[in-house]
Copies of this chain bind each other. A is one copy, B any other.
Amino acid sequence: MAAHALDSFLSQAAARCGAMPVATGAAIEPRYLEAARYGAGQAAALLRPASVAELAALLPLAARHGLRIVPQGAHTGLVRAGTPTDAQRDLLLATERLREVFELDLLDRTLRVSAGYRLSEINERLAPHGLMLPIDLSADPSVGGMLAHNTGGTRMLRFGDVRANTLGLTVVTAEGQVLRLGRGLQKDNAALPLQQLFIGSSGSLGVIAEATFKLARLPRQQAVALVAPNSLDAVLPLYQRLMDELGSLVSACEGISRAAFEAALSCGGERSRWFGGELPDYALLIELSSDLPADKLDLQALLQGWLEAEFGERVADAVLGADAACWALRHHISEGLRARGKVVGFDVSLPRRHFMAFREAGRAWLAEHFAPAELADFGHLGDGGMHFNLVWPKDAPLLDEAALRAGVYALVQRFEGSFSAEHGIGPQLQQSYWDLSAPELLDWSGRVQRLFDPAACLGLTVWGPPPR
């Protein structure tokens, strides 16, 4: 039955989208099935449409055949939302060939762009114009993937998340309707804001084909400092004074735990460059940036002056670095942790008022219940985001990951935080989503999903209550 449905689908898809590359079974290249951080998936077929018209033909056809479309961008996500799981039923829809549109408007500072473009390519093409799409990540996602999960990143503090930079979407529904939502204007309230529903929906309400983004000016200067606060208790007050005094210039404020710091050093080999002395319990990477040139406002001097006022005579010890190597250290953390054992990642966020308290409670809870785990958290203190990551040593006993996750998320809940800050929801977090969401939220989210996808043929995330 399923095989027959697939054959029928493929022959009708070929009739409507003749030029579209299709692969089935073992002919699907492994890179489409192997996720960034998890095990491989499986799919009945791989479809690679190149146009809105092909999407509009494929989606209703899949629904009619009882098959499921799993949209996949650059496959850099961390919640398995783009990794198909059903070898009979899943149609992996790679969006990488959706490249019909790249319309840059310099006066409006907007970019209309197809879902298949990747962040790096966009920013390479914008740089000569002094512009950028201000989403800053270690990964290189596609437009569609960033929208499906409403990506944040290290400079969200200044520029907002993907949602804040999106002025319009073109979406194809499960019925094959092409919805052009928003006109790409800065200010427009002439419709129900349906486009907002699709941002962060994990590709489950429709397939995003195009977006119009608001662009930002590339900074003309930046200043960086890696700082060791006097104590853990001093971290948040320091942050608060920074924001009060220099807030409009702060483009990143990242927190780095001692273990994360050490892991990064061990992999980058820069340790000797930083200190002879001891690593700090918690370090802050502060970045200022501005579109003013240094002859109008000298950011390096401003930051140095602020640090001197903060730390007084201690400043030489407190400032561990003040150049690009600080960011290199930050970006080495993940690699350094993986060298030490199995990394279990938690992408959570907390109200800033609970940020450090949660961290300490989490450390204590881990010590009690999962003693071999080494906490090596880092993240975006500025916006409350925390990668509460830990390393499970290679020689430790088998980890009960479900119990670990349940415990950490319960703690996040207790401190009024979110169990998914910037990675969105997918199969990886499905059970946690069910466990941690209010019944009325599940109820209404399920109603909305059924409205857009009554046949449950789009994506892997179930927004409603768990099936009985």
Which residues of A are in contact with B by a Cβ distance under 8 Å? 105-110, 130, 149-150, 152, 156-157, 160-161, 163-164, 173, 177-181, 183-194, 196-197, 199-201, 217, 236, 240, 243-249, 290-292, 296-297, 302, 349-353, 380, 383-385, 416-425, 429, 433, 436-438, 440-441, 443-445, 447-449, 451, 463
Cβ-defined contact, B197 with A197, below 8 A: yes
The answer, among B150, B177, B197, B349, for a CB contact under 8 Å with A186, is B349
The distance in angstroms between the C-alpha atoms of A352 and B436, with both chains bound, is: 44
The distance in angstroms between the C-alpha atoms of A194 and B261, with both chains bound, is: 38
Cβ-defined contact, B200 with A440, below 8 A: no
Cβ-defined contact, A185 with B351, below 8 A: yes
- Kindly list chain B residues whose C-beta atoms are within 8 Å of the C-beta of A157: 186
Count the copies.
2
The distance in angstroms between the C-alpha atoms of A247 and B190, with both chains bound, is: 27
Q: Known contacts A217-B243, A416-B183: does B349 contact A188 (CB below 8 Å)?
A: yes
- Kindly list chain B residues whose C-beta atoms are within 8 Å of the C-beta of A164: 160, 164
The distance in angstroms between the C-alpha atoms of A181 and B453, with both chains bound, is: 22
Q: How close is A382's CB to chain B, nearest CB, in angstroms?
A: 8
The distance in angstroms between the C-alpha atoms of A380 and B433, with both chains bound, is: 42
Cβ-defined contact, A187 with B451, below 8 A: no
The distance in angstroms between the C-alpha atoms of A188 and B433, with both chains bound, is: 13
> What are 21 sample pairs from A and B whose C-beta atoms fall under 8 A apart?
A107-B240, A110-B351, A152-B189, A160-B164, A177-B443, A178-B440, A185-B417, A186-B383, A187-B418, A189-B200, A193-B196, A193-B197, A194-B444, A196-B197, A197-B197, A217-B247, A244-B291, A246-B291, A246-B292, A296-B297, A448-B451
Output the nearest chain B residue to A198 by Cβ-Cβ distance: B193
Cβ-defined contact, B444 with A107, below 8 A: no
Output the nearest chain B residue to A412 by Cβ-Cβ distance: B190
- Kindly list chain B residues whose C-beta atoms are within 8 Å of the C-beta of A429: 190
Output the nearest chain B residue to A384 by Cβ-Cβ distance: B186
Q: Ordered nearest first, which 5 A-B pairs have the shortest CB separation?
A: A196-B196, A188-B418, A190-B420, A186-B383, A192-B445
The answer, among B179, B192, B249, B352, for a CB contact under 8 Å with A440, is B179
Beyond A149-B189, A192-B201, 13 extra complex contacts between A and B, CB < 8 Å: A108-B384, A130-B244, A160-B160, A186-B385, A187-B421, A187-B422, A191-B445, A192-B463, A193-B197, A194-B441, A196-B196, A247-B291, A297-B297
The distance in angstroms between the C-alpha atoms of A248 and B445, with both chains bound, is: 38
The distance in angstroms between the C-alpha atoms of A448 and B67, with both chains bound, is: 25
Most B-side CB within 10 Å, residue of A150, A197, A425: A197
Cβ-defined contact, B291 with A440, below 8 A: no
Cβ-defined contact, A352 with B189, below 8 A: no
Output the nearest chain B residue to A463 by Cβ-Cβ distance: B192
Q: How close is A203's CB to chain B, nearest CB, in angstroms?
A: 12
Cβ-defined contact, B190 with A419, below 8 A: yes
The distance in angstroms between the C-alpha atoms of A40 and B53, with both chains bound, is: 49
- Kindly list chain B residues whose C-beta atoms are within 8 Å of the C-beta of A201: 192-193
- Kindly list chain B residues whose C-beta atoms are within 8 Å of the C-beta of A191: 425, 433, 437, 441, 445, 463
The distance in angstroms between the C-alpha atoms of A185 and B194, with both chains bound, is: 22
- Kindly list chain B residues whose C-beta atoms are within 8 Å of the C-beta of A349: 185-188
Cβ-defined contact, A248 with B188, below 8 A: no
The answer, among B163, B181, B240, B418, for a CB contact under 8 Å with A190, is B418
Cβ-defined contact, A187 with B380, below 8 A: yes
Output the nearest chain B residue to A149 by Cβ-Cβ distance: B189
Cβ-defined contact, A188 with B421, below 8 A: yes
Cβ-defined contact, B448 with A183, below 8 A: no
Output the nearest chain B residue to A442 by Cβ-Cβ distance: B191
- Kindly list chain B residues whose C-beta atoms are within 8 Å of the C-beta of A163: 193, 196
The distance in angstroms between the C-alpha atoms of A421 and B443, with both chains bound, is: 33
Q: How close is A308's CB to chain B, nearest CB, in angstroms?
A: 14
Output the nearest chain B residue to A424 by Cβ-Cβ distance: B189
- Kindly list chain B residues whose C-beta atoms are within 8 Å of the C-beta of A105: 351, 353
- Kindly list chain B residues whose C-beta atoms are within 8 Å of the C-beta of A178: 440
The answer, among B245, B246, B423, B448, for a CB contact under 8 Å with A192, is B448
The distance in angstroms between the C-alpha atoms of A438 and B438, with both chains bound, is: 36
Q: How close is A244's CB to chain B, nearest CB, in angstroms?
A: 7
The answer, among B156, B179, B244, for a CB contact under 8 Å with A441, is B179
Cβ-defined contact, A108 with B351, below 8 A: yes
The distance in angstroms between the C-alpha atoms of A187 and B422, with both chains bound, is: 7
